[in-house]
Amino acid sequence: MASKTAAKDIITLRGSAAIVSEFFGVVWYSILYNRAVYPEESFARVKKYGLPMLLTKDEGVKSFISNLNAQLSEWLEAGKLQRVVLVIMSMNTGEVLERWNFSIETDNEVVEKGVSREKSDKEIMREIQAIMRQIASSITYLPCLDEQCVFDVLAYTDTDVAVPFTWMESSDAKLIANPQMVKLHSFDTKIHKVNTLVSYKNDEEELDDEE
Amino acid sequence: MMLRTPVPKRARPIEPAPIIESPPTGSDHHRQLAIYEDPPSADPARREPSHEPLQQSEHMLCTYQCRQMVKADFLDALSNAEKQVQDYQSQLAELSDNFRKADEERKTFREKLSYAEQELAAAKGREQALHDQLLKEVNDSHERLKKELESSAKLQTKLENEQNLRKKAESTAASAEDKARELEAKLGHISQSIEKEKKQLNNELVHLKRDSKFSISKITVDLEKMEFRAQSSEKEVELLRKQQEDLQSKFSQCLHQKSELEKKLTSLSFEDDSPKESDILVKHLQEELRNYESEVREARKLKSAHENIELIKEKLLEEKSRRERAELQLPKLHEYEFKINELEDELSAWKLMIQDIPGVSCRDDIRLRISALQKEVIDNLKKLGDVNAHLKQMEVILDKTQLDKQKTETEAVLAKEKADRLEAEVKRMNVMLSAVSEERNVLKTAIEDFKSKNEQAGGNASSSIMQIQELGSSILEREPYIKELEGDLFAQKEINAHQRDEIKSLHDRLNSEARRVKSLERENDRLRSEIFLLESKIGHGDFSAANTKVLRMVNTLAVGNDAKQTIEALQSELQRTKEKLQALEEYKSQSGNSGKMVDSYMSGKVAQLKEQIATLEKREERYKTVFADRISVFRRACCELFGYKIVMDERQRPNGIPVTRFTLQSIYAMNDDEKLEFEYESGNTNIVENSYTSTSEISQQVDIFVRKMNSIPAFTANLTVESFNRRTLS
């Protein structure tokens, strides 16, 4: 972090992990708000990345996400995190309706040798802004979630990672059968590259089944 | 012809006759003859106007001597002239010979010149023809080059398209490979999980067998115990029988005594009239009898009750043992049921998966299908590799054709330049020819002049000879040039032929490459369709268990309230069951003390109560396990939320008062010694000093937050933040 603040264009592993975990800290709330997992009134407006963002006021969700991001940041600094998936499921049936897939490509040379990279902060900000805008506009093509939903977060890590106390290994990756997939923009800090993809249950099959 | 003015002689005083000069011939122009003539008739043909005045002035009569002298002189001059004429004649002869020779040479030169002219004309014609041919060839090569350029441009566009297609195919192949790998990994994972489950099932089977053996051995032991108990009960029964027999014998003795006493009484009653004492005795005896009878009855009842109690005890023991066994096996049963459900779910999932996979009807087909798919993937990858190799070869060939095209272009440019040069040379040759022809004409005129003036002098022959020599030398000079031109033309012909051959070969190559491109396009379409099929078969991305594991954070958001409610419900139920158990135990003790529960109604009630006890105990155990789980979840949640691992235990102070002690360890603690201890007693929490809290930093915080501000949460929160900062900075 110190190197990130000292010279804007030089990015270290820790700085990049901080940027990515900060991004995750905002993107979870954005998705929860846009997909109406929690009611609109439980969100407060703040400014982030030059855009108006909505953060939840629910302390439980806040603490859950802050603990989650703390662990993700740790894994990012170790270069052990491969993917993070936000799963939206039906509360009644437990069926997986959407999967927000954030795959992370880490520069192993930086992790092993501790070298730094150069990239403009403004450019990274611009890339993150594009992703946020795309998430906000995703409601135009994603199917409506009429029933009450809950969310869960899955972290895909290396097999040699020690499972923390509040985590557990899950054999169920909570996949969707025959999903529709939409690839969104990605952002790159030159150390961590985050690709975004949303897969959702194919609404047309339901309509065909109903017909 | 210029006549040289003779040197005027010294005028003799008497020279009346005019001097007539003979025309100077040959080389003798020095002397002048003066001939006497009587009439000074002017001969304008022979006189020179310049000497007329002198001759007229010197027109004097000369003497005979003078005449003789003049005659002698004249004769001398004549002889000299004759000699000169002879010389001139000889010279003329020589000159004529020379002229003849020169003429002959001229003729030969003329012939040579004509021959050269003819050759020049032929060369010119050939040049023209070659030039025309060259122009034609250049035009043809230009056209071919244009066509080749167009075809190469088309090929380039095709190549670019192919490259794009190849890139797309490579990307799709890479994605298909990734998907295939992921699928393989998933399949491997699934197969591993299946094997693990198999092993687990086998282990469970082994465990079950062991358990069954153990239960069998246990049952045999119980049987032995029961047998032993039966034997002991039989012994007891025998003892009781003996006792009963003793009692019966006693009872019979008593009865006998009673009969004897009655007899005695009756005998006594007949014999004695004072019955009062005997009556009293009889009454006493009757009372004693009655007492004995009541005692006997009581003994019988006690005995039966004892027997019933023993039976009940045995039954209770049996039931207890059964209950214990059942309870021991209950969790296993639950586990087995759970595993069976899981296995059934997996089996159904597997069956669905098998149904989804085409060409697979049973489990064994999956491996075959996977191997077939793997082979297909490998074949497709090979084909992709071949396609890539073909494309690369095509690229190389195209590069070569481009280079060849560039070469041909440069050669065409060079040929053009050569043609231009040849044209210039041809023009130059034409110019030279025209100059040569002009010179020839000039030579002709000169020769004619020479012919016409051949008699006068032979001096022109040398100049014509010089000119002819010059012409010949120029012709000789031009011959190698002409040969050079012919050589250049021949080389150009060869180059054009070579270029034509190259162009033909390039055309052939282009055709073959076009065919190859078409075949590649067909292969590309086929591969695309295969990739699409694979993609549709494989589905969306997963993970490979060899490199990745999926972790899930315990989601306490929806659990907290539910946990509390369930905990409260469980606690209330536990209290109720405890009360019921106490009531049952009292009821048991009561039923045990009274000794009146002998009938089957009581045994049935006992059985009912036992069942209730069993169910309640099961429920209690279940509630305990659920409560333990919930408590652990709650403890973990508390640890995550507040950052401290809390350990609670009950202790007793030296004065005997029980106290609850809480030991807190921060999750950001650097070592295990960093622990906080609190004592909770009747709503008051006090911090306990230990080695960690006695350090300067912590003691300061304790003074500030706990003692001054009386806020333990503030103290723990501050400590958490400090240890978090310390940990992250380190």
- Quickly list DSSP for B379-393: HHHHHHHHHHHHHHH
Distance CA A138, CA B523 (A): 38
Distance CA B400, CA B383 (A): 25
Mutate to test the interface with A, among B342, B557, B646 (most CBs of A within 10 A): B557
Longest dimension (CA), chain B: 277
Distance CA B531, CA B529 (A): 5
Decide if pLDDT at A16 tops 90. Answer: yes
What is the tens place of the pLDDT at every residue in A150-159?
999 999 999 8
- Kindly state the average pLDDT of the residues B686-702: 90
B552 interfacial to chain A (CB closer than 8 Å)? yes
Report the percentage of chain A scoring pLDDT > 70.
92
Decide if pLDDT at A183 tops 60. Answer: yes
Decide if pLDDT at A43 tops 50. Answer: yes
- Kindly state the average pLDDT of the residues B121-129: 81
Specify the amino acid at residue B670.
M
Residue B591 has a pLDDT of 56
Nearest-CA distance from A131 to chain B in Å? 21
Decide if pLDDT at B194 tops 90. Answer: no
Q: Is A152 exposed, middle or buried (0-12, 13-18, 19+ CB in 10 A)?
A: middle
Question: Nearest 10 degrees: CA dihedral of B490, B495, B496, B497?
Answer: 90
- Taking CB atoms within 8 Å and a gap of at least 24, the contacts of B107-113 are B109/B468, B109/B471, B109/B472, B112/B472, B112/B475, B113/B440, B113/B471, B113/B472, B113/B475
- Kindly state the average pLDDT of the residues B96-112: 82
CB interface of A with B, residues 167-206, below 8 Å: 167-173, 175-179, 181, 199
B459 interfacial to chain A (CB closer than 8 Å)? no
Asked whether the beta carbons of B641 and B716 are under 8 A apart, the reply is: no
Residue B424 has a pLDDT of 76
Decide if pLDDT at A27 tops 90. Answer: yes
**Cβ–Cβ of B552/A153 closer than 8 Å?**
yes
Whole-Å CA distances, B131 to B113, B140, B421, B424, B494: 25, 14, 11, 11, 15
Decide if pLDDT at B61 tops 60. Answer: no
Residue B437 has a pLDDT of 67
Decide if pLDDT at B49 tops 50. Answer: no
Asked whether the beta carbons of B533 and B600 are under 8 A apart, the reply is: no
Q: Tell me the three state secondary structure of residue B59.
A: coil
Residue that wins the pLDDT comparison between B55 and B577: B577
What are the structure tokens assigned to B323, written together?
């209950």
- Positive or negative CA dihedral for B454, B457, B462, B467? negative
Cβ contacts below 8 Å, chain A against chain B, sum to 90
Say which range, B84-93, B464-473, B578-587, has the weakest mean pLDDT: B464-473
Residue B429 has a pLDDT of 64
ipTM reported for the complex, 2 dp = 0.87
3-state secondary structure string across chain A: CHHHHHCCCEECHHHHHHHHHHHHHHHHHHHHHHCCCCCHHHEEEEEECCEEEEEECCHHHHHHHHHHHHHHHHHHHHCCEEEEEEEEEECCCCCEEEEEEEEEEECHHHHHHCCCEECCHHHHHHHHHHHHHHHHHHHHCCCCCCCCEEEEEEEEEECCCCCCCCEEECCCCCCCCCEEEEEEEEEECCCEEEEEEEEEECHHHHHHHHC
Distance CA B639, CA B617 (A): 32
pLDDT category, B5, cuts 50, 70, 90?
Answer: very low
Residue B19 has a pLDDT of 46
Query: Across the interface, which of A83, A155, A181 has its CB nearest the CB of B540?
Result: A181
Nearest-CA distance from A15 to chain B in Å? 13
Asked whether the beta carbons of B450 and B464 are under 8 A apart, the reply is: yes
Query: Across the interface, which of A170, A175, A178 has its CB nearest the CB of B551?
Result: A170
pLDDT category, B599, cuts 50, 70, 90?
Answer: very low
What are the structure tokens assigned to B206, written together?
């082994």
Asked whether the beta carbons of A135 and A182 are under 8 A apart, the reply is: no
Decide if pLDDT at B237 tops 60. Answer: yes
Mutate to test the interface with A, among B196, B543, B553 (most CBs of A within 10 A): B553
Decide if pLDDT at B383 tops 80. Answer: no
Report the percentage of chain B scoring pLDDT > 90.
5
Residue A4 has a pLDDT of 43
- Kindly state the average pLDDT of the residues A111-118: 88
Residue B21 has a pLDDT of 44
pLDDT category, A211, cuts 50, 70, 90?
Answer: very low
Residue A81 has a pLDDT of 94
Residue that wins the pLDDT comparison between B29 and B574: B574
- Kindly state the average pLDDT of the residues B59-69: 71
Pick from A72-81, B207-216, B239-248, B376-385 the range whose average pLDDT is largest. Answer: A72-81
Residue B465 has a pLDDT of 64
**Cβ–Cβ of A168/B540 closer than 8 Å?**
no
pLDDT category, B415, cuts 50, 70, 90?
Answer: low
Residue that wins the pLDDT comparison between B540 and B365: B365
Decide if pLDDT at B23 tops 70. Answer: no
Say which range, A37-51, B186-200, B638-652, has the weakest mean pLDDT: B186-200
Residue B125 has a pLDDT of 85
Asked whether the beta carbons of B92 and B458 are under 8 A apart, the reply is: yes
Average confidence score pLDDT of chain A: 86
**Cβ–Cβ of B543/A83 closer than 8 Å?**
yes
A1 interfacial to chain B (CB closer than 8 Å)? no
Say which DSSP state B253 is in.
Answer: H
Decide if pLDDT at A208 tops 90. Answer: no
Q: Tell me the three state secondary structure of residue B222.
A: helix
Distance CA B691, CA B262 (A): 94
Residue A176 has a pLDDT of 86
Nearest-CA distance from B326 to chain A in Å? 33
Q: For residue B174, give the H/E element and its range.
A: helix B64-271
Decide if pLDDT at B246 tops 60. Answer: yes
Asked whether the beta carbons of B555 and A169 are under 8 A apart, the reply is: no
Strand pairing category for A149-158 and A192-201: unpaired
Q: Which residues pair with A46 in a beta bridge?
A: A53
Decide if pLDDT at B461 tops 60. Answer: no
Query: Across the interface, which of B543, B546, B558 has its CB nearest the CB of A173?
Result: B543
Q: In chain B, which residue's Cα lies nearest the Cα of A153?
A: B552
pLDDT category, B555, cuts 50, 70, 90?
Answer: low
Residue that wins the pLDDT comparison between B106 and B9: B106
Say which residue the tokens 């002709």 belong to. B444
- Kindly state the average pLDDT of the residues B333-353: 80
Radius of gyration of chain B (CA): 76
What are the structure tokens assigned to B210, written together?
């062991």
Residue A33 has a pLDDT of 92
B628 interfacial to chain A (CB closer than 8 Å)? no
- At residue A67's C-alpha, the angle toward residues A64 and A72, to 5°, is 120
Residue that wins the pLDDT comparison between B539 and B246: B246
For A101, list phi and psi in degrees, rounded to 5: -105, 120
- Kindly state the average pLDDT of the residues B165-185: 83
- Kindly state the average pLDDT of the residues B144-148: 84
Residue that wins the pLDDT comparison between B380 and A75: A75
Decide if pLDDT at B350 tops 90. Answer: no
B547 interfacial to chain A (CB closer than 8 Å)? yes
Average confidence score pLDDT of chain B: 74
**Nearest CA-CA partner of B321 in B589, B618, B614, B592:** B614
Residue that wins the pLDDT comparison between B532 and B376: B376
Say which DSSP state B705 is in.
Answer: I
Say which range, B3-7, B103-107, B449-453, B718-722, has the weakest mean pLDDT: B3-7
Mutate to test the interface with A, among B549, B638, B640, B665 (most CBs of A within 10 A): B549
What is the tens place of the pLDDT at every residue in A52-109?
888 888 888 888 999 899 999 999 999 999 999 999 999 888 889 999 999 999 999 9
Which residues contact residue A80 at a Cβ distance below 8 angstroms, ignoring those fewer than 6 apart?
Answer: A157, A158, A160, A161
Distance CA B627, CA B417 (A): 102
- Kindly state the average pLDDT of the residues B122-135: 81
Specify the amino acid at residue A67.
N
- Kindly state the average pLDDT of the residues A122-141: 90
B560 neighbourhood in chain A, CB within 8 Å: 60
